[in-house]
A and B are shown apart, each in its own frame.
Chain A
């Protein structure tokens, strides 16, 4: 019985190591996968141009420079930057939006019609707006906004009101978007879209724009596009703090880098745990060899060769670590699932990871089992038989 307790305790090291590997890798893979999905859904060739932050005195956070970008910049960049396939100014603000007695808060987006193609936003009901709709009082609703306000009523053709500091403005719903889910910067489901001019005249009353969204011809031209835009803006402002160019690609690569470092760190910890676990296995096998010296002697007297004794002890250590590994895999999957649910991270356990974990634990058993097994196989049968 004490043998079983001892073996179980030695197995713990491997179990914990494998559980850590499985948990880390499945969380990491799940996150990478979801980032990859978002990236492909948004397209990694999207570039955001935002006003920079300057000033910031005392304990106050520097406010965004509001009045730097305007529609004129958009037109010029479209002419000058050959790597851009499309570009739109964005007027953006959080507002209350009303339909009859119901209201909700939405992100108001005043944009060119090209935004729908650029961000791959599809219309579920009705239609998007076109250039011919510029200046008209029309609005396209995000999926969540439509659901909050209309609850089953067909929104197309209905009139909604946007509350502005100067009063409320009415718009006719012409379309509802399909559910999109969170993109990196905002969630289209919680937004409403208006033609740029309409938003400018009816709601924002400004010549400036909140930000500019551009799309490059292809993904590998993103870096070149960022340089072209930077060239134009630097010539305009002579101050790189006045603006901020962020490419989706750059954000994703930063995110990936962070994930990689995190994975390596946790992987390293898991590796050390496996190493320590392996040493534990070696220890228990050495104890077992000593305790079973007499058994080894008997087996040799009955005709066991050195290699069959070696094989016997190697198999024992491997089976121990394999069982430990299998328990570790289940435990790791459980931990990944719990953590994933708690902090809302996606979890992905692939067969490759499971095979890897089984492989690693078997490998640890073999590696750390070799020395004790070799020791056992080399015992002199006479000495072994005399052992009390």
Chain B
């Protein structure tokens, strides 16, 4: 579904060129749990941003359902981010002024879903992640684990095909991390493709496939069953 073909991503930091990804070719397959591991600065986050249509490659092609991302207009990329992809971040990235329910509603707002339907769906999703009693709470009134579960509910709002999670357990204690990982595993069982970027080997346990990145290159690929 998402194919990287000889993808290179170069950032400029002042006069310095940073080759964040270096000639990567890879396929994210439908229905798999792909874990991308590597030390910090290895290009994990860049990989995720490119897969999530938040950025475009410097060289090479990324095919999203057969369409070259580089050729797409900003509006179409927004639509893909909105409908096809669900993001889960290490920092949770909930909007602090909105309640849990409103945060989950947000992607549906951008998709033009009518208010009544939005609220209904958001409530259902929050129930699913076990937060039916925290809907009116602001992020600051929730624990890290609860915030991450709200973020997962938000990622699922528009029924995406793929969840991209950037260090989803990075800011959580072990127990909350386990809860989050189990939710992701459960979602995969229902047919969602899950990509997790992490440096936590515990998380990699649920992977079908693990890719190790270093200095922007794939150094190792493990297939687990």
Residues of A within 8 A of B110 (CB): 299, 302-305, 308
- A215 at the binding interface (Cβ < 8 Å): no
CB atoms of B95 and A300 under 8 A apart = no
Question: From residue 72 to 97 of chain B, which have CB atoms closer than 8 A to chain A?
Answer: 74-75, 78-79, 81-83, 87, 89, 93, 95
- B177 at the binding interface (Cβ < 8 Å): no
Of the listed residues B75, B79, B82, the one surrounded by the most CB atoms of chain A closer than 10 A to its CB is: B82
The 4 closest A-B pairs by CB, nearest first: A303-B82, A305-B78, A303-B110, A302-B107
Which of A298, A303, A304 is the one whose CB lies under 8 Å from B93?
A298
Q: How far is B82's CA from A305's CA once the two chains are assembled, in angstroms?
A: 9
Question: From residue 294 to 316 of chain A, which have CB atoms closer than 8 A to chain B?
Answer: 294-295, 297-308
Residues of A that sit less than 8 Å from B by CB: 294-295, 297-308, 380-382, 385
5 pairs of residues in contact across A and B, judged by CB atoms under 8 Å: A294-B93, A298-B95, A302-B82, A303-B158, A385-B93
Interface size on B, residues (CB 8 A): 21
CB atoms of A300 and B54 under 8 A apart = yes
Q: How far is B82's CA from A306's CA once the two chains are assembled, in angstroms?
A: 13
Q: How far is B82's CA from A41's CA once the two chains are assembled, in angstroms?
A: 70
CB atoms of B106 and A305 under 8 A apart = no
CB atoms of B54 and A381 under 8 A apart = yes
Residues of B within 8 A of A302 (CB): 81-82, 87, 106-107, 110, 154
CB atoms of B81 and A303 under 8 A apart = yes
Question: From residue 96 to 117 of chain B, which have CB atoms closer than 8 A to chain A?
Answer: 106-107, 110-111
CB atoms of A382 and B154 under 8 A apart = no
Query: Which residue of chain A lies nearest to B86 when distances are taken between CB atoms in the complex?
Result: A302
CB atoms of A303 and B79 under 8 A apart = yes
Query: Which residue of chain B lies nearest to A386 when distances are taken between CB atoms in the complex?
Result: B45
Query: Within the complex, what minimum Cβ distance (angstroms) separates A380 from chain B?
Result: 8
Residues of A within 8 A of B78 (CB): 300, 303-306
Residues of A within 8 A of B106 (CB): 299, 302
Query: Which residue of chain A lies nearest to B155 when distances are taken between CB atoms in the complex?
Result: A302
Residues of A within 8 A of B95 (CB): 295, 298-299
Residues of A within 8 A of B52 (CB): 301
Residues of B that sit less than 8 Å from A by CB: 49, 52, 54-55, 74-75, 78-79, 81-83, 87, 89, 93, 95, 106-107, 110-111, 154, 158
Residues of B within 8 A of A297 (CB): 93
CB atoms of B54 and A303 under 8 A apart = no
CB atoms of B111 and A301 under 8 A apart = no
Query: Within the complex, what minimum Cβ distance (angstroms) separates B101 from chain A?
Result: 15
Q: How far is B87's CA from A301's CA once the two chains are assembled, in angstroms?
A: 7
Query: Within the complex, what minimum Cβ distance (angstroms) separates A145 from chain B?
Result: 71
Q: How far is B109's CA from A304's CA once the two chains are assembled, in angstroms?
A: 9
Which of B55, B75, B83 is the one whose CB lies under 8 Å from A382?
B55
Q: How far is B73's CA from A307's CA once the two chains are assembled, in angstroms?
A: 13
Q: How far is B75's CA from A300's CA once the two chains are assembled, in angstroms?
A: 11
Query: Which residue of chain A lies nearest to B160 when distances are taken between CB atoms in the complex?
Result: A303
Residues of B within 8 A of A294 (CB): 93
Query: Within the complex, what minimum Cβ distance (angstroms) separates B34 from chain A?
Result: 19
- In addition to A301-B52, A302-B154, 12 A-B residue pairs with Cβ atoms within 8 Å of each other are A298-B95, A299-B95, A300-B78, A301-B87, A301-B93, A303-B79, A303-B82, A303-B83, A306-B75, A381-B54, A382-B49, A385-B89
Residues of A within 8 A of B55 (CB): 380-382
Query: Within the complex, what minimum Cβ distance (angstroms) separates B176 from chain A?
Result: 21
Q: How far is B81's CA from A385's CA once the two chains are assembled, in angstroms?
A: 14
Q: How far is B81's CA from A306's CA once the two chains are assembled, in angstroms?
A: 13
Query: Which residue of chain B lies nearest to A381 when distances are taken between CB atoms in the complex?
Result: B54
Residues of B within 8 A of A306 (CB): 74-75, 78
Query: Which residue of chain A lies nearest to B107 when distances are taken between CB atoms in the complex?
Result: A302
Query: Within the complex, what minimum Cβ distance (angstroms) separates B47 from chain A?
Result: 12
Query: Which residue of chain A lies nearest to B49 when distances are taken between CB atoms in the complex?
Result: A382
Q: How far is B212's CA from A279's CA once the two chains are assembled, in angstroms?
A: 52
Residues of B within 8 A of A300 (CB): 54, 78, 81
Q: How far is B111's CA from A295's CA once the two chains are assembled, in angstroms?
A: 18
Query: Within the complex, what minimum Cβ distance (angstroms) separates B59 from chain A?
Result: 17
Residues of B within 8 A of A298 (CB): 93, 95
Q: How far is B53's CA from A380's CA once the two chains are assembled, in angstroms?
A: 12
Residues of B within 8 A of A382 (CB): 49, 54-55
Q: How far is B54's CA from A298's CA once the two chains are assembled, in angstroms?
A: 11
Q: How far is B87's CA from A385's CA once the two chains are assembled, in angstroms?
A: 12
Q: How far is B158's CA from A159's CA once the two chains are assembled, in angstroms?
A: 98
Which of A295, A299, A305, A385 is the one whose CB lies under 8 Å from B75?
A305
Query: Which residue of chain B lies nearest to A303 when distances are taken between CB atoms in the complex?
Result: B82
Q: How far is B107's CA from A300's CA once the two chains are assembled, in angstroms?
A: 10
Q: How far is B93's CA from A295's CA once the two chains are assembled, in angstroms?
A: 8
Residues of B within 8 A of A307 (CB): 75
Q: How far is B75's CA from A307's CA once the two chains are assembled, in angstroms?
A: 9
Query: Within the complex, what minimum Cβ distance (angstroms) separates A45 from chain B?
Result: 66
Query: Which residue of chain B lies nearest to A377 when distances are taken between CB atoms in the complex?
Result: B74
Q: How far is B114's CA from A203's CA once the two chains are assembled, in angstroms?
A: 90
Residues of A within 8 A of B111 (CB): 303
Query: Within the complex, what minimum Cβ distance (angstroms) separates B51 from chain A?
Result: 12
Of the listed residues A297, A303, A305, the one surrounded by the most CB atoms of chain B closer than 10 A to its CB is: A303
Q: How far is B75's CA from A308's CA once the two chains are assembled, in angstroms?
A: 10
Q: How far is B81's CA from A304's CA once the two chains are assembled, in angstroms?
A: 9
Which of B79, B81, B158 is the one whose CB lies under 8 Å from A301?
B81
Q: A382-B49, A382-B55 are in contact. Are A303 and B107 (CB under 8 A)?
A: yes
